[in-house]
Structure 1
């Protein structure tokens, strides 16, 4: 097995495309697949301080389909480079499940991927701080990486999921038609106060609607929607993503644990 690291948007995009079969085989969530990561990269081009995307890749050949890959972001904060999962600083992200993945086909590949991430930290000029968050419980790469970090820490927190009971409000219209999304999008986005979140939501929703992975639910009113919800779709799986309601029908519930691997800033050997 060979391990390589690539840095820069164009090279990472190529690795995202090459990793599509691995993502499918491992049933990676929508938020760890190509379209979402592409939207994250596009948001990074438009935003300041987004850092540089990177990928640590493990495979049998120098190019081609990987057996393990981690998509990361390198952000310089003064003398320190902060290493996170790609998309870790982007909002909004659906709650209730781990949104990130360190993709590895088996335990051997996970160990090599952990070694590659550790080597990446050593290649950073100056000090590096690691924070890989939003991972699933029992992630083998996270375990192997933590074992390599003398001051590393694995922690978990409980997530919260949005619940969709809008049909009980009566009159809700649901659609996967990109044209319907485009029709309602201005009214929806007017309810998102954060400018960067609004921009990401617009581009990401349009992209996923174009490939049939977004459902829009709207409760119309006389002066605009009284409630709206965007749900990410993966076959029969539904994952409420972002929404609001003036009349109820949207709630929260306890979700799955989210795991993080962290290490404080220091110079790496």
Structure 2
């Protein structure tokens, strides 16, 4: 097996595309697939402090199809470099399920990916801190990493998501058509006060609408909607993403466990 590292937006974009078959084979969630990660990379490139994207790739030979990939971000905070999952802290993420993945086809690939991540950490100058959040329970790469990091800690938490009950409060208009999204999205996103979050929602929704993987549900009400919800759609699977309501119908619900792997700052003088 061969392990290499791609640094920077252009290189990571290529690795995201190359990892498409692996993402599909592992049934990675929408938030760990190409369209979402592309929106994340575009958002990072558009603002200062977005961090430096990195892809660690394990493949059978140079330029072969990947057997494992980790998409990460390096951010300088003071003297330290913080290493996180690509997409962590960028825009609203749907809740109720683990949104992140350390992609590995099998246990051997997961072990090699963990070694590659450790090599990356050891190559960084100055203090560094690792924080990989949003992973599924029992992630094999996270287990291998924790075994190799003396201070590595795995913690579990119960996630919460949104329950779509809008059909119970009125006549809801639902559409996966790009033209409907373009027409309604400005009024829907006007309820998001944070400009960066609003920009990411718009970009990510458009990318997923282009491939038929987002639904916009709106409860009409005079000049402005009374409720709205964006849902990520993958076949029969529906994952409520972001929305708001003035009349109810969007309630919190308990979700699946999520895992975080942290390794405290090392390398202080």
Q: Do residues 58 (structure 1) and 51 (structure 2) align?
A: no
Which residue pairs with 1:191 in the alignment?
Answer: 191
Which residue pairs with 1:5 in the alignment?
Answer: 5
Contact 1:92–1:197, Cα closer than 8 Å, also in 2? yes
Which residue pairs with 1:88 in the alignment?
Answer: 88
Cα distance in 2, alignment partners of residues 170 and 260 from structure 1: 39
Cα distance in 1, alignment partners of residues 45 and 223 from structure 2: 36
Which residue pairs with 1:76 in the alignment?
Answer: 76
Cα distance in 1, alignment partners of residues 205 and 64 from structure 2: 29
Which residue pairs with 1:169 in the alignment?
Answer: 169
Which residue pairs with 1:15 in the alignment?
Answer: 15
Query: How many Å apart are 1:267 and its aligned residue?
Result: 2.1
Partner of 2:44: helix, strand, or coil?
helix
Partner of 1:115: helix, strand, or coil?
helix
Query: How many Å apart are 1:170 and its aligned residue?
Result: 2.1
Which residue pairs with 1:266 in the alignment?
Answer: 266
Contact 1:18–1:64, Cα closer than 8 Å, also in 2? no
Which residue pairs with 2:234 in the alignment?
Answer: 234
Which residue pairs with 2:36 in the alignment?
Answer: 36
Q: Deviations over 1:169-202 (max 9, x none)?
A: 1211000011111111111111001111011001
After TM superposition, which residue ranges in structure 1, 4 or more long, deviate above 6 angstroms?
none
Query: How many Å apart are 1:156 and its aligned residue?
Result: 1.2
**TM-score, length-normalised on structure 1?**
0.98
Cα distance in 1, alignment partners of residues 99 and 30 from structure 2: 8
Q: Structure 2 unaligned segments of length 5 or more: list them.
A: none
Aligned length: 268
Q: Deviations over 1:183-238 (max 9, x none)?
A: 11111111001111011001000110111000010001112100000000111100
Q: Deviations over 1:9-41 (max 9, x none)?
A: 111011111100000000000000000000000
**TM-score, length-normalised on structure 2?**
0.98
Q: Compute the RMSD of aligned alpha carbons.
A: 0.9
Contact 1:18–1:65, Cα closer than 8 Å, also in 2? yes
Partner of 1:239: helix, strand, or coil?
strand
Which residue pairs with 1:109 in the alignment?
Answer: 109
Partner of 1:170: helix, strand, or coil?
coil
Contact 1:188–1:228, Cα closer than 8 Å, also in 2? yes
Cα distance in 2, alignment partners of residues 10 and 46 from structure 1: 14
Query: How many Å apart are 1:157 and its aligned residue?
Result: 1.0
